[in-house]
Amino acid sequence: MGIKLILRFIYINFIVAKYGLDRVLLEVRWLGPLRFISYLNPFNWFYRNKWTRAQRVHLALEALGPIFIKFGQILSVRYALLPDDVIEELSKLQDRVPPFASEQSIAIIEAAYEKPITECFQEFDPIPIASASIAQVHKAKLHDDTIVAVKVLRPRVHKVVKEDIQLMYMFASFIQWVWKASRRAKPVEIVEEFEKTIYEELDLIREAANASQLRRNFEGSPELHVPKVYWPYVKHNIMVTEFVHGLPVSDVESFRERGVNLKRLAEMGVIIFFTQVFKHCYFHADLHPGNVMVEVKNPARPSFITVDFGIMGSLSPRDQQYLALNMIAFFNRDYRRVALLHIESGWVSSDTRVEEFESTIRTVCEPVFERPLREISFGKLLAKLFRTAKQFDMEIQPQLLLLQKTLLNVESLGRRLYPDLNLWKTAKPFLEDWVKEQTGVNKLIETVRERMPYWIKQFAEMPDLIYDRLKQDDIKNLQKQQNIHREQKNKSENSALKPFLYGVLVTSLAVTCFSLFASYL
């Protein structure tokens, strides 16, 4: 372990002490005899009742820096792992950090393009327009007068990430070793999942590819605009895209002043999300307010703009179908159907008792449905169901966690625009139409059309396949007959050999007896 890593480890322990997280750790039952240690922490003398448990976790992660903030964001969807109050507090974590020096940005760009900044861009604004944990963004102008946004990875970010993840693995392994009850939560696997996610965000070529795919999916759409990627300028640590203008999605007052139809805007956001999930099978999984803007040049027809494509999600066709059918069953309060769908999809074990699972789902959902639909958060309902399904050994797949997190963001954004948003009323017709499309004649024709070239190719190869199969059968039959013949031959040889062996044995006994008799005489 290097000196810097040791110093970082010491600093983390200082933050743990400062925000009283030692008290949280010592709440573990078998550590009860050691709770006196928390009273030796001077910070607990002064800040004993200043923060709640959840606030202490939130503040500690913010103090530890951007990588731990992102880790907290990952944990904020682990409803089966953390208490409700901690989950709610972690969902407030914002990925905003001070910018790094513009000289460093320029140096990174010049090193990547191997030429001076003046040859890279006609103009380059050294003051960043946005700054986050992984990168910051500058405004620039290409030599053809195109205004662009230049995203630059932070210097040494790979090294910082590597060091912090090493420490996370140390803490996770230690917790798993000393606290057996934590093994079900799989702390090491959570760190592995986070490591994979964060390293994907560090590759701006991957992010540019994500943006290009999403842009193609919404090409010509009046509802969502995705910035164009300028591929000749894209590097692993630099991404250049079209510069987009828009109001922050949280600026509701400006929308009202301009006469924007907020109800339509909120419902349009829900439809865009479900279109990504079910029609495109590819969705933006980081839709917090900082990544969403609204273009309001025409207040009657506003449109959304989205940026930052480091985290994307997708569902398999099987998961898509089961998720849509589950949602419709929820809307109709058909809990038995929900239970059966969970079992059919393989999300819970096939030996699960349907009646017991149905009763559990009803217990969770019925109190929620007694409230007005506009007050119901479907994202939070999904979270409760995931937590409840844990007792039936339901393994929550990462793509479903991403989906649930994104749905929470979409609901939050929608209700910020229009507090009376009824997500259920907006989503149900869309899902019902999608299911009809998937099971209708048109879908069958489309599937046949898509699969026909493959079927034709297979049909052309069918005679050879049949011949090969028959030949293999002939070979197997021949081998079987040879084995039978060999066994019969061995049996006949053995039967012929038996009298000979008996004769030898009798002769040997006779010779032996004669020899003994002769020696006796």
Q: Give me the active site residues, please.
A: 286
Q: Residue 182: which H helix or E strand, with range?
A: none
Spatial distance between the Cα atoms of 442 and 282, rounded to a whole number of angstroms: 22
* Residue 248, beta-bridge partner list: 293
Tell me which residue of 278, 150, 274, 151 sits closest to 224, measured CA to CA.
Answer: 274
Which uninterrupted H or E stretch holds 331? helix 317-331
- Mapping DSSP to helix (H, G, I), strand (E, B) and coil, where does residue 137 land? strand
Instruction: Evaluate whether 91 touches 76 at the Cβ level (below 8 Å).
Output: yes
Strand partners, 239: 151
DSSP state of 279: I
CA distance 322 to 316: 10
Q: Please count the residues of the chain.
A: 521
Question: CA 431 to CA 321: how far, in whole Å?
Answer: 10
Q: In what order do the strands lie in the sheet with 224-225?
A: 224-225, 303-306, 292-295, 247-248
Longest dimension (CA), the chain: 137
Q: Look-up: residue for tokens 């349907």?
A: 354
Q: How many CB atoms lie within 10 A of CB 140?
A: 21
Contacts of 189 (CB under 8 A, 6+ apart): none
- The DSSP secondary-structure symbol of 235 reads B
CA gap 279, 438 in Å, rounded: 10
CA pair distance 357, 342, nearest whole angstrom:
9
Cα(441)–Cα(449) distance, integer angstroms: 12
Helix/strand/coil (H/E/C) assignment for every residue in 138-181 = EEEECCCCCEEEEEEECCCHHHHHHHHHHHHHHHHHHHHHHCHH
